[in-house]
């Protein structure tokens, strides 16, 4: 199949030239960001993937976007793509354990890079990325979209303002419901060699948020974890005869509450089902199959260089989706919770019983009455966070950002290494030092936090 004809090719222009490698579901955000919202400053010149069907689908997306059609390259031709198309920036949206190949190859070739989270999946690849970034001097951006969600920026504002003084400990609990949570057990995420497990693949978002919120670097991690829900035994407890290969051919599809009908969803069908023939990538594998090797329930205790401690959990089979977090400071406590209403199906109510729109931010001083804050909002996906992040990536003149939400390889490393340390802790049962994984990890440029030496007023009696 020709990946460069018969569609017209992209023309040269002074705009920044982008290539995207990995044209699955997540790449669509970036393709549309370039071709629709930021076409004045960016152009998409090339697409690269293992799967020729998905490349062709992405090229047709350019036609729909009314944009020049990028040239397509198979993954083996990545270097040829760089030589022929001379992108300024390569965006990496492949599966997690392959990011390093393209980040390193692109930076060595003189390109800047933008990568989806997690930056990579183990300590060795992380060290390689940091070394090549340092040696080449190229920009490496890690797209932590969660930072851009307005309520999370609002919490950052509160912490920066010193409202609760110095944060001494954090309690953070993230829940995935059985629609979204199950999805990590259907495909490549379900093997640690591909994703690093949920401590890396998913928790990288959460560990990054804490690093960024606190303006602190992680020092040590002690973890526990298990898989007890997405198992063959659970399939039997739910009345099935056991796990099967995949939903499409499942003999018990009508009785299984986890059935995913790829054929019924035009998006899933065109992206995955129609392209299985090229690479055998099955998007709807049974969530109860035995060869899954990632945990579905994880816990970690993390210490930070600020002295703060984090108590963290992730659960993937919950009744509602979202999180609760509390920051315990020298002057009070912030409680914040958020229900991801996008994953709440078929009911007018928001599961979890929290405030309007599922967002709650409450400040409770050590003495005196607590108060709720009106949550910040913005228009668009992920509470408006995606639009803000794309602006930050693609605008020639990004707006000033007092929260420093744009993240680079230092933040990318700081978040995944908590998960990598947690994985090692799961194996050994011992606490793992981040410095044993990557010595001299460079510290990100965090936004200034309150000076920890500031005196703390004695709480008023009886108030
Ligand atoms: N920030 C977020 O909220 C968010 C959300 C979803 C996914 N992601 C991340 O985006 C990335 C892509 O996830 P997705 O859901 O689109 O996955 P996907 O499976 O839908 O797409 C991955 C694409 O990469 C291609 N690919 C895999 N290995 C390759 C290789 N060696 N060379 C070239 N192409 C290769 C696959 O063929 C596929 O087209 C992952 O790193 C994931 O963690 C981030």
396 alpha carbon to ligand 1 midpoint, in Å?
26
Residue 400 lies in a domain: no
The answer to whether residues 183 and 249 belong to one domain is no
Burial status of residue 369 (CB atoms within 10 A of its CB: 0-12, 13-18, 19 or more):
exposed
Out of 110, 144, 178, a domain closes at 144
Q: Check which CATH number belongs to the domain holding 355 and give it.
A: 3.30.360.10
The answer to whether residues 322 and 200 belong to one domain is yes
For the entire predicted model, the pTM comes to: 0.94
Query: Per DSSP, what are the bridge partners of residue 226?
Result: 297
The answer to whether residues 170 and 185 belong to one domain is yes
The answer to whether residues 177 and 78 belong to one domain is no
* pLDDT recorded at residue 345: 38
The two beta strands, 322-329 and 332-339, are: antiparallel
pLDDT (tens digit per residue) in 257-312: 999 999 999 999 999 999 999 999 999 999 999 999 999 999 999 999 999 999 99
The answer to whether residues 24 and 97 belong to one domain is yes
pLDDT (tens digit per residue) in 42-74: 999 999 999 999 999 999 999 999 999 999 999
Residue 399 reports pLDDT greater than 90: no
- For a ligand 1 pocket test, name from 20, 82, 116, 387 the mutation site with the most ligand atoms within 8 angstroms of its C-beta: 116
Q: What does the alpha-carbon distance between residue 13 and residue 88 come to, in Å, rounded to a whole number?
A: 12
* Atom 38 (ligand 1) nearest CA: 24
Query: Per DSSP, what are the bridge partners of residue 172?
Result: 312, 325
Question: Phi then psi for 219, rounded to 5 degrees?
Answer: -115, -45
* Atom 20 (ligand 1) nearest CA: 24
The answer to whether residues 313 and 174 belong to one domain is yes
Instruction: Round the average pLDDT of the chain to a whole number and report it.
Output: 92
Q: What does the alpha-carbon distance between residue 463 and residue 449 come to, in Å, rounded to a whole number?
A: 28
* pLDDT recorded at residue 358: 85
The answer to whether residues 321 and 177 belong to one domain is yes
The answer to whether residues 64 and 211 belong to one domain is no
The answer to whether residues 274 and 308 belong to one domain is no
The answer to whether residues 120 and 242 belong to one domain is no
* pLDDT recorded at residue 293: 98
Q: Which residues line ligand 1 (CB under 6 A)?
A: 21-26, 49-51, 54, 75, 93-96, 98, 116-117, 145, 201
Structural domain including 253 reads: 232-279
Q: 398 falls in which pLDDT band (50, 70, 90)?
A: confident
Out of 144, 168, 185, a domain closes at 144
pLDDT (tens digit per residue) in 409-462: 999 999 999 999 999 999 999 999 999 999 999 999 999 888 776 777 777 765
Q: 396 falls in which pLDDT band (50, 70, 90)?
A: confident
Residues 6+ apart with CB under 8 A from 431: 220, 221, 222, 425
Residue 60 lies in a domain: yes
Percent of the chain residues past pLDDT 70, beyond the cut: 92
User: How many domains does the chain fold into?
Assistant: 3
pLDDT (tens digit per residue) in 335-394: 999 987 644 333 344 444 444 468 999 999 999 999 999 999 877 666 677 888 999 999
* Atom 34 (ligand 1) nearest CA: 49
Residue 320 lies in a domain: yes
Residue 206 reports pLDDT greater than 70: yes
188 alpha carbon to ligand 1 midpoint, in Å?
9
* pLDDT recorded at residue 381: 66
Give the pLDDT mean for 317-337: 96
Residue 191 lies in a domain: yes
* Atom 18 (ligand 1) nearest CA: 24
Residue 222 lies in a domain: yes
Residue 136 reports pLDDT greater than 70: yes
Percent of the chain residues past pLDDT 90, beyond the cut: 84
Question: Phi then psi for 152, rounded to 5 degrees?
Answer: -75, -35
Based on DSSP, count helices (H) and strands (E) in the chain, helices before strands: 15, 16
């Amino acid at each position: 199949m020709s990946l460069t004809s018969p569609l017209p090719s992209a023309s040269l222009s002074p705009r920044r030239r982008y290539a995207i490698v990995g044209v699955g579901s997540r790449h669509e955000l970036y393709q549309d960001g370039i071709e629709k919202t930021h076409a004045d400053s960016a152009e998409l010149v090339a697409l690269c993937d293992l799967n020729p069907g998905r490349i062709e689908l992405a090229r047709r997306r350019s036609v729909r976007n009314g944009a020049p059609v990028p040239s397509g390259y198979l993954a083996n031709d990545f270097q040829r793509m760089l030589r022929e198309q001379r992108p300024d920036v390569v965006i990496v949206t492949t599966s997690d354990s392959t990011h390093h190949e393209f980040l390193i190859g692109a930076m060595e070739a003189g390109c800047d890079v933008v990568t989806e989270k997690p930056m990579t999946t183990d300590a060795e690849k992380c060290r390689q990325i940091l070394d090549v970034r340092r040696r080449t001097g190229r920009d490496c951006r890690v797209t932590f979209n969660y930072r851009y969600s307005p309520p999370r920026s609002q919490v950052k504002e509160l912490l920066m303002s010193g409202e609760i003084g110095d944060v001494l400990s954090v309690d953070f609990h993230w829940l995935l419901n059985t629609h979204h949570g199950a999805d990590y057990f259907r495909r490549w995420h379900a093997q640690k060699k591909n994703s690093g497990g949920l401590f890396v693949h998913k928790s990288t978002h959460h560990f990054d948020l804490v690093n960024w919120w606190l303006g602190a670097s992680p020092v040590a991690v002690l973890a526990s974890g298990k898989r007890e829900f997405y198992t063959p035994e659970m399939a039997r407890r739910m009345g099935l005869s056991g796990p099967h290969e995949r939903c499409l051919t499942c003999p018990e599809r009508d009785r299984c509450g986890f059935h995913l009908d790829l054929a019924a969803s035009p998006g899933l069908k065109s992206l995955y089902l129609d392209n299985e023939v090229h690479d055998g990538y099955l998007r709807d594998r049974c969530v109860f199959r035995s060869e899954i090797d990632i945990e579905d329930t994880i816990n970690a205790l993390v210490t930070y260089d600020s002295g703060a401690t984090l108590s963290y959990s992730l659960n993937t089979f919950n009744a509602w989706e979202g999180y609760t977090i509390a920051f315990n400071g020298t002057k009070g406590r912030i409680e914040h919770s958020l229900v991801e209403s996008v994953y709440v199906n078929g009911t007018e109510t928001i599961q979890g019983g929290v405030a309007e729109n599922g967002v709650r931010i409450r400040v409770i001083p050590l003495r005196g009455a607590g108060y709720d804050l009106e949550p910040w909002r913005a228009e668009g996906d992920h509470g408006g966070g995606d639009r803000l992040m794309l602006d930050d990536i693609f605008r020639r003149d990004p707006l000033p950002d007092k929260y420093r939400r744009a993240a680079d390889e230092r933040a990318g490393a700081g978040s995944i290494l908590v998960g990598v340390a947690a994985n090692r802790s799961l194996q050994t049962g011992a606490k793992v030092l981040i410095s044993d994984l990557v010595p001299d990890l460079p510290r990100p440029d965090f936004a200034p936090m309150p000076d920890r030496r500031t005196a703390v007023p004695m709480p008023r009696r009886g108030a």
